[in-house]
Amino acid sequence: MILVTGATGSIGRHLVRRLRELRVEFTALVRDADKGRALGCRYVVGDLDDPGSVAAALVGVDRLLLNSAGAAPTADGAPQPMIAQQKAVIDAAVRAGVTRIVKVSVWHAHRGGRLAEGAHWEIEQHLKASGVDWSLLQPSGFMQNFLTGAGTFSDDGSLIAAAPDAPVSYVDCYDIAACAASLLTEDGGTGRAFVLTGPEALTMAEIAGQLSPVLGRPVGIVSLGPDAMALRLRTLGVPAQFADDVAHLWAEVATGSLAGTTREVENLTGREPRTFAQFLHANRAAFR
C-alpha cells in the first residue's frame, strides 16, 4: 500500500492519476474531505500537524510519498514548520513499518541553505538516518509556477525576472509525479538523489515569447535585482528576514544556478521530460 501526502498539490494530483493508471493500491492523505473526493481515489483525512491522524493513515502502508508545502513566511528567525512536520512523518512511518520513503526535496538542498534549500537538507539527513530505504527527488523550478502565478507575474501581467537572460531548466510537475510513481512501484533507485529538470534551459525572454500566443497578449518582462525584490516582498507584508532570503536565492538564479539539465526523468520513466511548449499545450485551457 502506498500513501501519498500532498495529494491535492501540483505534484500530488498528477501522481494520483498515474497510480490509478498503474492500478496499484494507494491512499491519498488530504486535509479537506471535499478535495479528497474530487481526486476520485481512496483517501483519508488528516493533517501533518496531527500525529494521531498521520499514524492512522500509515496503518498497512509500506511505501510513502513524502511531500508537503515548502518554505512559507514565518516570524523572523522562526524555523520552517515543514521541518518538524516531515521529520515527525518519517518517525511515524518507521514505527508503522514503512519500508520505503520517496521524498520530494529541492535542487541544491544543502546545510545552512536559505529557506527550502536548508529546510529540505535537514529533513533529508533525518530520512537518511531513519533506517528506511529512501529516494530523493530534487526538482528544478516548476513550470506550474507560470500557471499559478506564484511569484512570477507583476500586477500588470508582465513576467518578473531576476535577469531576463538567465536560463532556468524548469520541469513539469507531471514529470516529477511520473518519477515518483516509478520509484514507488518499482525496485531500484534506493539511496539515491535524483535532480529533475526539463530538457532545456529557457531564459525569461524565451518563456515570454512562448506564453504570449497562449495568453493572447504580449507578455512583457520586468527585471528586478535582489534588493528590489526584497523591497517588493516587504511592501506586500512579507517578513523582512523571509524577504531577504528570497532575494538571496533570486540573485543566485540570475547567475545560472538552475541552468543545468539532467537525464534523470528519462532514466526513471523511459521517456523524455516535457518541453515548456508541451506543458503550455497540455494546460492551454487553464491558461485561457
pLDDT at 199 over 90: yes
3-state helix, strand, coil in the chain (%, to 5): 45, 15, 40
Model pLDDT for residues 2-46, shown as the tens digit of each residue: 999 999 999 999 999 999 999 999 999 999 999 999 999 999 999
pLDDT at 226 over 90: no
- Under 8 Å between Cβ of 167 and 134: no
Question: Mean pLDDT throughout 117-135?
Answer: 96
More confident residue, 219 or 114: 219
pLDDT at position 173:
97
- Other C-beta atoms lying within 10 Å of the C-beta of residue 218: 12
- Banded pLDDT at 75 (limits 50, 70, 90): low
Taking the C-alpha atoms of 148, 152, 158 and 162 in order, what is their torsion angle to the nearest 10 degrees?
-170
Model pLDDT for residues 76-96, shown as the tens digit of each residue: 556 678 999 999 999 999 999
Question: Mean pLDDT throughout 119-134?
Answer: 97
pLDDT at position 74:
59
More confident residue, 71 or 31: 31
Distance of CA 42 to the CA centre of its chain: 23
Which grid coordinates are listed for 181? 510513481
Domains of the chain: 2-287 (3.40.50.720)
pLDDT at position 69:
77
Using DSSP's 3-state secondary structure scheme, residue 67 falls into: coil
pLDDT at position 45:
96
Residue corresponding to grid cell 513566511: 73
- Banded pLDDT at 244 (limits 50, 70, 90): confident
- Other C-beta atoms lying within 10 Å of the C-beta of residue 59: 12
CB environment 145-166: b (16+ within 10 A), e (fewer): ebbeeeebbeeeebbbbbbbeb
* Lowest-pLDDT range of 26-40, 59-73, 240-254, 261-275: 240-254
pLDDT at position 151:
59
Question: In percent, how much of the chain has pLDDT > 70?
Answer: 95
* Lowest-pLDDT range of 24-33, 82-91, 198-207, 239-248: 239-248
- Average pLDDT, whole number, for the chain? 91
Residue corresponding to grid cell 501540483: 10
pLDDT at position 241:
80
- Under 8 Å between Cβ of 93 and 123: no
Question: Mean pLDDT throughout 239-243?
Answer: 80
Q: How far apart are CA 248 and CA 19, in angstroms?
A: 38
More confident residue, 229 or 123: 123
pLDDT at position 84:
94
pLDDT at position 237:
82
pLDDT at position 91:
98
What pTM was computed for the model?
0.93
Question: In percent, how much of the chain has pLDDT > 90?
Answer: 70
pLDDT at position 153:
80
pLDDT at 167 over 90: yes
pLDDT at position 77:
57
**Start-to-end CA span in the chain (Å):** 38
